[in-house]
Copies of this chain bind each other. A is one copy, B any other.
Amino acid sequence: MPSEFEVIARYFTVPPVDGADDGVMLGVGDDCTLLSPSPGKRLAVSVDTSVAGVHFPPDAPALAIGHRALAVSLSDLAAMGARPRWCLMSLTLESAEDDWLAKFSQGFLGLCERTGTTLVGGDTTRGRTAIGVTVMGEVDPRAALTRGGAGPGELLAVTGSLGGGAGGLALWQRGERDLDHPLLARYLLPQPRLSAGQALLGLATAAIDISDGLLADLGHLCQRSGVGAELYPHGWPLAAGLGDALGEEGAFQAALSGGDDYELLISLAPRHLVEARKRLASLGVELTVIGELTRETGIRGVASVTHGGWQHFEGAGEPGPGNKDRMP
């Protein structure tokens, strides 16, 4: 079994690129990493830990575990409209298997590369498999998308489709193992909406990523903004194949209360809808209006559904919907 130094050196040391504008003044290998934040920007930071058997199935493919651990943290940057810059990883493993680590690092570093995120630090420990990821991004302080900017009369819209995370989990639990299956990919290889979040700067008044389920996350947005919401009864963007997988009622429940979708839920003034759709369309991302915000607090229009959402210390410790919506 490789030693810890070897684990870091072999799988997670990315050679610095000469002249790269990655803001890393002193990389891995010293007591700290030294970073050079961009002048005039604010630093957006968030941390999430993914635990085997809680946030993902222990026997999920290592590549997916690596990808997913980073993706759920990057999704928080997406929801601020921030551009990702750096991340740190805290890796706890029961053992250090070469094959597993090679795939895991491929998933993690692959997403780093595709999103312009530089891994600048980390540590490894022995224990039940868990991955803690701290992400750091940058955003214009005047434009950052918070949860608190929504106003009554504005539209409520979501990127992409809903329910795919819960649908993929259900398929996994039934034995589906093909990562090319769109729903399984949605659950195990979520794509954080980074470009969409940045494209919505100046248009959206508030944003949150959907990790705990639409209703739960909408509740957070409404609470922080001091508004309520009226959800439309029709026209929801259910993930493709969700009805086949879960049935009609199950699909709608998954869209409302399932976690792990990692889409963006935003508010915006009606006059900005066309421009927002145009910008997102150029990224291949749909934007669907699912309701509007009201002066009266509370969420209405989905009377048959209880206000769900996943909270740890109450869950059963089984793989289930995500758990990202804590302190950032």
List the interface of chain A (C-beta within 8 A of B).
Answer: 1-5, 7-8, 12, 25-26, 28-37, 39, 42-49, 51, 54-55, 76-77, 79-80, 82, 86, 88-90, 92-93, 95-96, 120-128, 130, 132, 134, 136-137, 139, 141, 144, 146-148, 207-209, 224, 311-315, 317, 323-324, 326-328
Contact = CB atoms under 8 A, between A and B. Distances in A.
B54 A32 contact: no
Given A7-B313, A33-B46, 13 more contacts: A8-B326, A26-B144, A30-B224, A31-B77, A32-B79, A33-B328, A34-B144, A36-B141, A45-B88, A46-B121, A47-B88, A47-B134, A92-B130
A141 B54 contact: no
Nearest to A133: B90
A224 B31 CA distance: 12
A122 B7 contact: no
Contact of A134 (B44, B88, B125, B148): B88
Contact of A4 (B32, B51, B120, B323): B323
6 contacts: A4-B312, A4-B314, A25-B141, A30-B148, A124-B312, A125-B130
Contacts of A48: 90, 123
Contact of A125 (B95, B144, B209, B323): B323
Contact of A123 (B32, B37, B95, B326): B326
A80 B32 contact: yes
Contacts of A141: 25, 34, 36
A321 to B, nearest CB: 13
Contacts of A37: 37, 43
A32 B5 contact: no
> Can you tell how many copies of this chain the complex includes?
2
A47 B122 contact: yes
A224 B82 CA distance: 35
